[in-house]
Amino acid sequence: MQYRTISDGRTSFDVSTLCLGAMNFGTRVDEPTSRAILDRFVEAGGTFIDTANNYAIWSGGTGRDSEDLLGRWLKDRGNRDSLRIATKLGAAPRDPSIALTEDNFEGLSAQVIARQAPESARHLGIDHIDVLYGHVDDRATDPAETVSAFGELQRSGLVGITGISNIATWRLVEARQEAQSQGVAPYGLVQQQYSYLHPAPKYGRNNFVTPGMLDYAASSGTAERPPLAITVYSPLHQGAIARLNQPMWGGVDHPTSHARRTLLHEVAADIGRTPNQVALAWLLGGEVPVIPVVGVSSVAQLDEVVGAADLVLDAEVRALLDAEPADPR
């Protein structure tokens, strides 16, 4: 396992460069299997675990199933101090009686943040949350209100580093500038979707990492622009990286992605690694390295992805993977 430091310019700590996503723990992944995965992750040197307060609510869960399971596991193992726990708020249902859609998200008002953050800590059984994200950018709430509310949680000691997810780069920049103008620590993390397969450009698609966001993160780490790290969800495109017959989704299903996936499989075979391992190594070793949030449903799947933690792609291999595919016409 490898490690890196994350920081907002005031609070800093080290995390494993692979983050374990707990979205399905306690629902689609049963408790004994979830615990076995968590145990193996820690045994392999993993220290960074990610969840949220609304996971699996769309498939019959309560939204906090994974937080509750992590809380029970942390208590039983007594290892909380050696781990960094991240959770998210803002995308739980405003009205639990109707479907969870963007129109029904709670949002990132000061009231929601002040109410939901302590609840997450309670469900996790911890006295402080290492990383707290706004789950989805809330354009109906003034960023000044949101960052102020996050700052209050930091001042109280409940939250270490704050972050934001599913946001346009310009909104991220404005929110960080607003935090600095208030004397509040800015977001130190942004979590977006990202993998070796890229979506076609589309106005309004703000949940993916973009070249501009990578450039902005690379420019951070100064007094004027405090550090910003990028964590990425669906780095294996929910199984579509490894399985050539699995459909792609979210704007990624186009000829270039199919060509890239085929190439990835060829490269993996040539170097004796799995496509998933090569895809993760590509993310970890990029010009602007990111932290993949990996979701697995078995110990065997975890062992495969952990095998990518120390895989360094040769310059020639990376150049091949980064080459523009031939025109499919």
Instruction: State how far the Cα of 224 lies from the Cα of 241, in Å rounded to an integer.
Output: 38
Do 230 and 209 meet the contact criterion of CB atoms below 8 Å apart? Answer: yes
CA distances from 161 to 72, 129, 157, 215, 257 (A): 23, 8, 10, 21, 34
Name every residue whose Cβ is closer than 8 Å to that of residue 50 and which is 6 or more positions away in sequence.
Answer: 19, 20, 21, 22, 86, 87, 191, 231, 293
The candidate with the shortest Cα–Cα distance to 154, out of 181, 190, 184, 116, is: 184
- Beta-bridge partners for 177: none
Q: Which residue's structure tokens are 């080459």?
A: 323
Residue 55 annotated as catalytic: yes
CA distances from 142 to 178, 226, 269 (A): 10, 22, 50
Of 3, 55, 187, 216, the active-site residue reads: 55
Indicate the DSSP class of residue 149: H
Q: What are phi and psi of 81, to 5 degrees?
A: -70, -15
Do 228 and 237 meet the contact criterion of CB atoms below 8 Å apart? Answer: no
| Residues assigned a catalytic role | 55
